[in-house]
Amino acid sequence: MNLIKALTIMAVIILILWFFPPTHKLLTDFYENNVIVQTFVDILIHVVQGIWEGIKTFFAEIF
């Protein structure tokens, strides 16, 4: 449970920093120059997209 809280707080902080131009460029450069971060972020994005599509399909079939 503490891990989930920590990851949520970290995600919120990164999301807030994303909207400030200097840190946006820093985060973008970090993502583009780090293969490990790229892989992790891409996997996370695909997992979330898959879950979202599954939820949409589930509710589309019910209604």
- The pLDDT tens digits for 23-42 are 889 889 999 999 999 999 99
For residue 23, CA distances in Å to 4, 30, 37, 38, 50 come to 24, 10, 16, 17, 29
Residues 6+ apart with CB under 8 A from 27: 14, 17, 18
Do the Cβ atoms of 14 and 27 come closer than 8 Å? yes
Whole-number pLDDT of residue 56 = 93
Structural domain count, the chain: 1
Query: Domain range for residue 18?
Result: 2-62
Give dist(CA 60, CA 25) in Å, integer. 39
Supply the pTM of this predicted model. 0.62
Three-class DSSP category at 19: coil
